[in-house]
Structure formats: structure tokens, C-alpha cells
Chain A
Amino acid sequence: MEVLLQTLISGLLLGGLYALIGLGMTIIMGVMKIINLAHGELMMVGMYVAYLLFAWAHIDPYLSILVAVPLLFILGVALQKYLINPVLKVDAILPENQVILTVGIGMVLANLATIIFKSDYRTTPVDYATKAWYLTDLWKDSPIELSLSFPWTVSFLFAVVITAALWFFLSRTDMGKSIRATAQDKDAALLMGVNVERMRVFTFGLGSALVGAAGCLFLPIYYLYPDVGGQFTLTGFVITILGGLGSTVGAILGGLILGIFESLTATYLGMGWAPVGRFVVFVLVLIFVPGGVASLLRRRRFGK
């Protein structure tokens, strides 16, 4: 019981961060119908930005979000404008050229990082890394013992705040509404005076910025190496499928479900199998719930 509860809590904390990765991907996918397989690599760039700021100036990884987010936004805008847009326009036999292009971008980013930083594993030795809160500190006679890791919890809270800000942006601002309109029907949005081209570029920037923020939040709790991005690209994709393509609510739920599921596999089957669990979820969802969580929500009106 104690182990199960502890596993669920860790899974929830991990899931919150996963949701942030999935959100960035799902927004790009929803608005532009673009599958970004360089997503995890962009996160890796965010992590290195935070790492460098820590190594040079001892800036806390959580503070470096303020630097990494605008930087990644600019990087995302540039990628969309100068690489992806031209490819969408050329005529080729395979429409999947765009997906292959993002793989190429990811390769370049990951290997540039290898050249610059070598393949060493790095961590940011923050002094709160091992701090934790215990249930017995609050409740002396508690029959079970649970702990909350300090950095995990802080990262989770940051992810919640960023998600809330994103929700506010998408639902309450003109820009956000234009983005959602573009996602729903590009042609109709165009006729309503939305600058679709600009929304696309902006959305890729926004998606990159979100995953850059996720990178900063992962840094205090994870180790960093140049190829770290690949697994997060796939994770992000599994979350997006699980949530339902382009659905923001779905991405959040998908992230939480996946986090909890992975936590359970790691506890009960062993660490090495956690990634298999991730892909088993992926395959099962593809077969049985092709629309992801979002389709279930729509069908049963939040009855899940």
C-alpha cells in the first residue's frame, strides 16, 4: 500500500512534467499538422541553456526559464520560417518529407551538442536536490510513510503554473483565439482575417518555448547528455497520441496517465522496462482508442 501510494505520487509528479512536453508538441500538431520529431532535441537545448547559466553564473535552473523560453521561442520561429515552411511548399513524392526534415534537425541539434559539450553526463548540483518532505513530519502517528521530493514538487508546480498561463493565453487573448481558429479550420480562419502564416510561425515558437521550459524544469531532477532529447521526443509523441492529436486537455491527461503508468512499471517490473511500458501504452491506444483521451472525453462528456 505504502509502495503503491508512493509510486502513484511520483508518477503524478513526473506526469505533470510530461504534460508540459506533450502540450508543446500537441499545439504544433494541432495548428500546423506538423509532426515535430525534433521536439526532445529542442528540450535538450533548453536544458543546456539552463546548465550553462548554472555553470557560469550559478543561476538557479528554475530562474533560467526566463532566458531559455525566449531563446527557444526564437529558435523555433527560425526553424519554422527558414526550414519547415520551404519544405511544405516544394513538390515531392512523399508528403512525409516534413517529418524526415524534423528528424534531420534533431540529428543536427543533438550532434552539435555532442561536439560542443562532449558526451559527458552532467548534472546541476543544486543544494536542494536531495531535500524532501515527509508525511511523518506533518503527522507524527501516520500509519504510512510518504515522501515528496523537493525539486520534483517544485518542478511540478512550475509546470502547473505554465500550463495555466498557456490555457489563459489560448482561451482569453486574441492571439490565442486566432491560434485555435487556425487549428480548427485553416481556410475559415484565413477568411476571417487571421494571418495564418504568422500563426504557424508563432505556434512553432510557442511549442518550442514550452518544451524549453520543460527542459529547465527537468534539469534539477535529471541528468543531461547530448542524446537526452530522443527519448523525450518519443515520450512527447506517445503523450500526444494518448491525449488525442491537437487536444490540449488531452495532452495534460495523457501526460499524467503516462507518468503514473511508467512509475508503476518501474516499481513493479524494473527500471529497464519503463520505456517498454510507454510504448505498450502507445500501441494499445493506437489499436483501441485511436482518438486518444480527447475522443473519450467528447463521447462521454467528461464521464471518464
Chain B
Amino acid sequence: MQAKYGRPLLILGLLAALPLIRAIPGVNANYWLHNFILVVMWTIIGMSWNLLSGYCGQVSFGHAAFFGIGAYTSGMLYVKLGISGWWGMLASIPVVGAAALIIGFICLRLRGPFFALATIAVGVILRIVAENLVGVTGGDMGIMIRERTWVEKTWYYYIILALAAATFWFVDRVIASRLGYYFVAIREDQDAAESLGIDTTRYKTIALVLSAVLCGFAGAFYTNYMGYIDPKVVFALHDISVMAIMVVMVGGVATRWGPILGAVIMILLAEIIRTIPKVGTAHHTLFGVLLIVVIIFLPNGVVGDAAKLRRLLRPGRSS
């Protein structure tokens, strides 16, 4: 058991040293830290999606719903009651969990692609509701947190890094437990799992709630870090829900490292594309093309199809 976490701990240690880039002259440390914070946040969202969709096979197109509920829980507690957004992060656990129970009750009776589509609807409904309930959410104006806890990004980085490490460990433990085997059994053949006495509805609901809470946590962090949210940003179909799918698809579905690698690739790619002049608006096109290419050629992602990739890179040794 101990050796199992050797490599993750080593990588965590290296990542913890990252803010030292401040010491390097000529490097825009704030810019890089911002990107790393986003990468780490996306590893959490990716791991959360992977738990539900990769391991349990319930492909969600609506993770923006959980991200957004988490973000709004934190934001509204601050704006309406003056409670710090960091307490809001804790408050997001019961709120997102309860929302996931309701969503699961409605959507989990559907199978495969129909579940996927129902979750799209959930995400879109929540966005429209948040836009229209101006009295409660402020509508399109969004929510602004005026007093930022820190001006420095280092602390935000450490908080999200700790959260990501905890998420990694948590998902890993779940997958290695009986619960995790149930999840995979449901993914592989729901009817067979059912006939073996697994209460599939119950375990699918558990997977959904766990996944939702993790994603909601990332959302609540986002509110605290960015200081501003609006429905179009946190309930975004493409920028959150589809991005979550892409992070895991590119990295590797149902793998430990897939969401992490995927988040690194996707966020850095988005940033590189954004900095190329005149390509800015085109970045979704390239994302779309990347998604198509990955699905056709690397259906199990960079990690899942690592052997295939290695063969491609060394054509001389291919069989």
C-alpha cells in the first residue's frame, strides 16, 4: 500500500515547489501560477468526471451543473449573508450533494446516451434559471466577491493543490474498494451487475453524488479565486461540461493519471492557442478537431493508449 503512493507523493512534492519560480528573474510568476492553478482545478474536475463516467460508465454532459451549484453556494453565502467564501466551500458539500441526489433520481433511470442527454438538459436548465432568477442570483450581472483573501496567488495554488491531492487519494481509495468494483461492474454490463445482486441504482447514485461533490468543490474554489461568477461562465456547456469530458478523454478514461495529464495538456493548449495572435476565436475549433482526432485514434486517451502512442513514436520497432 505504501509504495503505491510513492510516485504521486514525489510529483506532489515537485508541484509544491512550483511557486519558487518567483525567484527566477524574467519569469512572469503570476501568469504561470494562474495557469497552474487552473490546471490543478481542472485535474479535480477531471477526476470527478472520471469517477462517475470513466469508472461507473455514466457519461455526464452536465458537470457544469455541479460546478455551478458549488460556485453559487459559495458566492451567494458571501453576498447574501456575508459568510466567507471559504466556509462556502464547506457548505457546498451538502448543497451539491443534495442537488446530485435530486438530479440522480431523475436522470439515473436512463441508460447510456440518454443519461448523457438528460444531464445536458440539467446543466442548461440551471443556467437559464440562474439567468432568470435575478432577485436571487443577480441574473446575468453575476456575483462579485469584493474582498479577495489574498492578492498573492501562491496561497490559492497551495489550497487547490491540497484539494487535488486529497481528491486523487480519495478517488484512488474508492476505486480500490468494493464500491469501485461495483462501479466498474455497472459500467461493463449493468444487467449482469443487477443479476448478481448489485443494487445498480443505489451505486450509480453514490457515484454521482461523490463525483458531484468533488466537482462542486472545484466550483466553490473558483468563486473564491476568481472573485466573480455569472451563469454563462459557471454553467457553461462547452467551457465546463464538454471541457471536463475532453480533459479525461484526452488524458485517459478510467485511469489514475488520465485526468491529470489531460488537464495539463488541455489548459496549456488553450493558453498557447490563446496567445497566438488572430487564432483566439478559433480555439474551440481546434479543441473540436482535437476531440475528433482523439476519439478516432486514441479512444482511451494518452494514458490508456500509451502503448499505441509509443509504437507510433518509434515506428522502427512496430510489429
Residue on B nearest A93 in the bound complex, by CB:
B253
Quick one: which of A101, A270, A273 contacts B292, CB cutoff 8 A? A101
A234 partner residues in chain B, CB cutoff 8 A:
120-121, 124
Q: Is A103 an interface residue (CB 8 A)?
A: yes
On whether the beta carbons of B121 and A279 are closer than 8 Å, the reply is: yes
On whether the beta carbons of A105 and B292 are closer than 8 Å, the reply is: yes
On whether the beta carbons of A115 and B120 are closer than 8 Å, the reply is: no
A270 partner residues in chain B, CB cutoff 8 A:
132
Looking at A83, A111, A230, A280, the one whose CB has the most chain B CB atoms below 10 A away is A111
On whether the beta carbons of A104 and B282 are closer than 8 Å, the reply is: no
A241 partner residues in chain B, CB cutoff 8 A:
114, 117
A280 partner residues in chain B, CB cutoff 8 A:
125
On whether the beta carbons of A91 and B299 are closer than 8 Å, the reply is: yes
Looking at B59, B113, B114, B129, the one whose CB has the most chain A CB atoms below 10 A away is B113
Q: Is A283 an interface residue (CB 8 A)?
A: yes
Q: How far is the CA of A99 from the CA of B170 in the complex (A)?
A: 29
Chain B's interface size range is: 35 or more
Q: A276-B132, A287-B109 are in contact. Are A35 and B296 (CB under 8 A)?
A: no
B112 partner residues in chain A, CB cutoff 8 A:
95-96
On whether the beta carbons of A96 and B299 are closer than 8 Å, the reply is: no
Residue on A nearest B293 in the bound complex, by CB:
A104
Q: Is A138 an interface residue (CB 8 A)?
A: no
Looking at A86, A92, A100, A283, the one whose CB has the most chain B CB atoms below 10 A away is A100
On whether the beta carbons of B284 and A90 are closer than 8 Å, the reply is: no
On whether the beta carbons of B300 and A93 are closer than 8 Å, the reply is: yes
Q: Is A165 an interface residue (CB 8 A)?
A: no
Q: A100-B295, A234-B124, A282-B121 are in contact. Are A111 and B284 (CB under 8 A)?
A: yes
On whether the beta carbons of A96 and B300 are closer than 8 Å, the reply is: no
Q: How far is the CA of A287 from the CA of B118 in the complex (A)?
A: 11
Residue on B nearest A118 in the bound complex, by CB:
B281
Report the stretch among B8-16, B72-80, B195-203, B237-245 that lies at the interface: B237-245
Residue on B nearest A287 in the bound complex, by CB:
B106
On whether the beta carbons of B291 and A100 are closer than 8 Å, the reply is: yes
A119 to chain B, nearest CB (A): 8
B115-161: which residues lie under 8 A (CB-CB) from chain A?
A: 116-118, 120-121, 124-125, 128-129, 131-132
On whether the beta carbons of B291 and A107 are closer than 8 Å, the reply is: yes
Contact with A along B169-195 (1 / 0, CB 8 A): 000000000000000000100000000
Quick one: which of A93, A103, A238, A273 contacts B254, CB cutoff 8 A? A93
B235-286: which residues lie under 8 A (CB-CB) from chain A?
A: 237-238, 242, 245, 249, 253-254, 281-282, 284-285
Q: How far is the CA of A211 from the CA of B131 in the complex (A)?
A: 29
B300 partner residues in chain A, CB cutoff 8 A:
92-93
Q: A93-B253, A272-B128 are in contact. Are A99 and B291 (CB under 8 A)?
A: no
Contacts A86-B296, A93-B54, A273-B132 given; 11 further ones with Cβ under 8 A? A35-B116, A94-B59, A94-B253, A104-B291, A106-B288, A111-B281, A111-B285, A241-B114, A272-B128, A283-B106, A286-B114
Q: List 26 A-B contacts (CB under 8 A).
A: A87-B299, A93-B187, A93-B254, A94-B57, A94-B59, A94-B253, A95-B112, A96-B113, A100-B245, A103-B61, A104-B288, A107-B238, A107-B242, A108-B285, A111-B288, A114-B284, A234-B120, A272-B132, A273-B128, A273-B132, A276-B128, A276-B129, A279-B128, A283-B106, A283-B125, A287-B106
